[in-house]
């Protein structure tokens, strides 16, 4: 999604994964556009607009547009206290200037996938990882750590602290992880080896 100019999905709503992550990355997204993936063929040029009210639009071809810079100071005071959802530490400081009162949701699995890149069981039971390529990858990621568990703890703490610091002194709510395997498929060979080795643990 980081490389996409825009995102269009057949299903989903304003709080769907595609909508939230696209917003955080600054990528225009139109979600829940039924049949969109059948209408939009590979190579078709479209313009995706999210600046025309509460519903996004997908136009055929290249539509001319103008860019205007808005200031939050000119928008007045909101009647509610808003919080922001953040997925990764990398994007935390992109949005720190938004007029929000903290982080309403920071998901731990995103921090583990993007910052740590190793399933915790592969770190706590490294001696049971038999695949040489996986062992080499883990050792490369954890270089400088005598205790592989410290790598996990320190990187996770750094990730949560980075997200929290972007909205200090407002609160940050972190959703803990139960380490379901489907949420860690992006961990590559480390994840696949971990699932195979530790599925019964």
Type and span of the H or E element at 139:
helix 132-141
Hey, what are 169's tokens? 């002194």
Distance (Å, whole) CA 37 – CA 41:
7
pLDDT at 76: 72
Digit-coded pLDDT (tens) for 65-97: 888 877 767 767 777 888 988 878 888 888 887
Order of strands, sheet of 84-86, starting from the edge strand that comes earlier in the sequence: 84-86, 103-107, 172-175
Hey, what are 153's tokens? 């703890």
17 catalytic residue (yes or no): yes
- Collect all residues with Cβ–Cβ distance below 8 Å to 74 and sequence separation of at least 6: none
pLDDT at 8: 92
* Mean predicted lDDT score pLDDT of the chain: 83
Q: Residue 122 — very low, low, confident or very high, per pLDDT cuts 50/70/90?
A: confident
Digit-coded pLDDT (tens) for 123-135: 988 998 888 988 9
**Catalytic, out of 11, 17, 119, 170:** 17
pLDDT at 24: 74
Digit-coded pLDDT (tens) for 153-178: 999 999 999 999 999 999 999 988 77
Pairing type for strands 103-107 and 84-86 reads: parallel
The full set of domains in the chain, from first to last, is 1-67 (3.50.30.10), 69-201 (3.20.20.60)
Hey, what are 144's tokens? 């400088």
The average pLDDT across 131-149 equals: 92
pLDDT at 179: 64
Q: What percent of the chain has pLDDT over 90?
A: 30
Hey, what are 74's tokens? 């000119």
Digit-coded pLDDT (tens) for 5-54: 899 999 888 878 888 888 777 888 999 988 888 888 888 899 999 888 88
């Amino acid at each position: 999604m980081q490389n996409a100019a825009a995102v269009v999905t057949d299903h989903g709503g304003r709080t769907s994964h595609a909508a939230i992550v696209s917003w955080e990355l600054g990528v225009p997204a139109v979600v829940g556009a039924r049949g969109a993936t059948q209408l939009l063929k590979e190579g078709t040029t479209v313009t995706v607009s999210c600046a025309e009210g509460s519903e996004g639009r997908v136009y055929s071809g290249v539509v001319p547009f103008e860019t205007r810079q808005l200031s939050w100071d000119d928008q007045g005071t909101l009647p509610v206290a808003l919080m922001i959802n953040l997925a990764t530490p990398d994007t935390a400081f992109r949005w720190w200037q938004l007029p929000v009162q903290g982080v309403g949701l920071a998901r731990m699995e995103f921090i583990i996938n993007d910052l740590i890149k190793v399933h915790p069981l592969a770190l706590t039971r490294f001696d049971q990882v038999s695949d040489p390529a996986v062992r080499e990858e883990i050792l490369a990621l954890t270089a400088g750590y005598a205790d592989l568990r410290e790598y996990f703890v320190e990187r996770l703490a750094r990730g949560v602290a980075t997200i929290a610091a972007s909205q200090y002194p407002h609160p940050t709510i972190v959703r803990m992880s139960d380490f379901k395997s489907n949420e860690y498929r992006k961990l590559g060979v480390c994840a696949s080896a971990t699932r195979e080795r530790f599925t019964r643990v």
